[in-house]
Structure 1
């Protein structure tokens, strides 16, 4: 088998990269260890920055997004028993769009040509520092194959094989709390997102559609799902959010650890990392999917310049440019996380409240927060 670009991973980063490359006339083959149904069922991020929406529209992927996406011009911060609205559009001239990551993936799979190779195993990357790398794998029928290519794009997440093929320096941080998240078949309790700082811990009210609500609670890192029956979850959400949430059937329930991670560099020879293979941000800042889209938007241009025109400048600078954006996103996401979560340290807890009060009382501070939230012109 032969192609120009082997894309490892059929998440939003890998699928979008392959789509953008095909629009430029390049061949790309996508390999994925999971089955198609699993890829479509993964419930992840739902907040799209305007830059992300622009990329999807320009790639011909905006039809369903424009019909079903929910435009939001602000969000609420709730603390000290009061609500403080961050007016994104008023402060920045921009808005965000709520549209689930799994919906983006569905749009990408509907547009994919050819279909990704799902259910592969034993994926190994070879000769990535040469101009003739390859990928060996076993397909879903148990047949061993070799995919020869000119470039490999590692879009297979933190636990994938691509990151381990790059001699990276890893910078990591684990936070002393986790998120208990649910997706429920119930109308949202508020027309915008709510970020709540409460004495019992952080809570987030989000949505995926007018019928689906996404909700999160700060819990201890060693918390067990069995300790959180549905009645307890809904009671705690109402208490922390200060909003009457109507209980509904749960579509998903899980606990996610809170961590940050950056791998440096994001390029090794002809192997390029993108998305969660290169960086993970705390979800509080809603940056993960947006960062991945910005990665592959730049990478598609760099690979087009390299493979079609023989110019390697953008490919050589890709890692440096995207790492600067990754660290901007890490900075903002970490600040949001520490500001909104309940800390067991009295000093940190009082700092969090001081930061929130400043945002609520200072137009300059609220504007800075809003600009970070909607995404900078530099793609972070």
Structure 2
């Protein structure tokens, strides 16, 4: 199949000034899923174009948390992309764990020994650099992206380029990697999708602070859950459980530091607050993850609460499944893996949704009784105690946190 780079054929009729091109795969979204997929395809000789509605500076500057678990680290190595893990990634280590101000031992086992704390923008930057260095076609500031003819012989993705020219990419497959609010899933008729969702009844205040943290720490407390996760040598991501109706404006800097110290019940360093936002805690799955020639990957198909640290894991798992399917279809003419894409991904997704729900409810119910009451608090604490006393429970938890279960 011909590359988009050498098949531009501008239309000259007065009714259609759109510039048409051909490629094999159009990837909508230059986040973790889109850029990982782009690199996989590029290295296997499959033509692709990545469309991103924002500028490169905006995409690489987005401050997002991220954990690349053992599954993700091994996956990048297997595909010859270990270099994207270099730079500002921080090896994941044991963390301090506090319950009502009392420090607990928190041995997570050895299953996740290859995991990395990696700010999402660092991974995106590295994936971008490698993709462009190897000749990838990445188009920023693509406006009004519109996937069309999804159930026809060949899908078309229309957009307006940064130069103001209307363009259309005729392709064989569209990969929707543009997140929960992106255009890809909205291009699928509502009747063709089933949405499964759950809201947890509380949110997180997510704060980026210019202070060091070593090691990571988490606190369970009657005032609510709190967390401190290192994001480089001089930055920390802070988390505070808050009410669903709370806004970031209700949390001035002084309140953040005061509440964090109250929940840990130990003196803590303070510093500049760089960013703060409210993060809804919810789980969502869409079924199926494809419609005609459009395939959904990552947050476009599902989201998990951040307590589980499995958002990147699920995006990378989808990406690997889809990449293998496309490569086989293009090189061998075998669409079998494409036809079973949803059936392959969804059991894995539900497995980690179960883990995400379990860990989220335990960690919040064990402290704050305002939502589920004292009975659920005692149940949650009994489950937590099992993690400290049972080798079998700890082993399963280690497999799930490592992403190898």
TM bin, normalised by shorter chain, reads over 0.9
Q: 2:225 aligns with which of 202, 209, 215?
A: 202
Report how far residue 106 of structure 1 moved: 0.4
Q: 2:269 aligns with which of 246, 258, 276?
A: 246
Q: CA RMSD in A?
A: 1.8
Report how far residue 64 of structure 1 moved: 6.0
Which residue number corresponds to residue 382 of structure 2?
354
Q: 2:121 aligns with which of 88, 102, 113?
A: 102
Which residue number corresponds to residue 40 of structure 2?
20
State yes or no: 1:273 paired with 2:320.
no
Report how far residue 93 of structure 1 moved: 6.8
The more displaced of 276-285 and 228-237 is 228-237
The more displaced of 363-372 and 98-107 is 363-372
The more displaced of 202-211 and 126-135 is 126-135
**Change in CA separation of 1:93 and 1:183 when aligned onto 2, cut-off 3 Å:** closer
**Change in CA separation of 1:131 and 1:309 when aligned onto 2, cut-off 3 Å:** farther
Mark the runs of 5 or more structure 2 residues left unpaired by the alignment.
1-20
State yes or no: 1:340 paired with 2:363.
yes
Q: 2:140 aligns with which of 92, 104, 118?
A: 118
Q: 1:54 aligns with which of 69, 74, 80?
A: 74
Which residue number corresponds to residue 162 of structure 1?
184
Mark the runs of 5 or more structure 1 residues left unpaired by the alignment.
none
Please say if residues 92 and 113 of structure 2, whose CA atoms lie closer than 8 Å, have aligned partners that are also in contact. Answer: no
Rounded to whole Å, the distance in 2 between the matches of 1:268 and 1:156 is 16
Q: 2:158 aligns with which of 129, 132, 136?
A: 136
Which residue number corresponds to residue 393 of structure 2?
365
**Change in CA separation of 1:85 and 1:61 when aligned onto 2, cut-off 3 Å:** farther
**Change in CA separation of 1:343 and 1:124 when aligned onto 2, cut-off 3 Å:** farther
Rounded to whole Å, the distance in 2 between the matches of 1:59 and 1:250 is 38
SS of the equivalent of 1:171 reads: strand
State yes or no: 1:263 paired with 2:263.
no
TM-score for the superposition, normalised by structure 1:
0.93
Q: Give the paired residue count.
A: 374
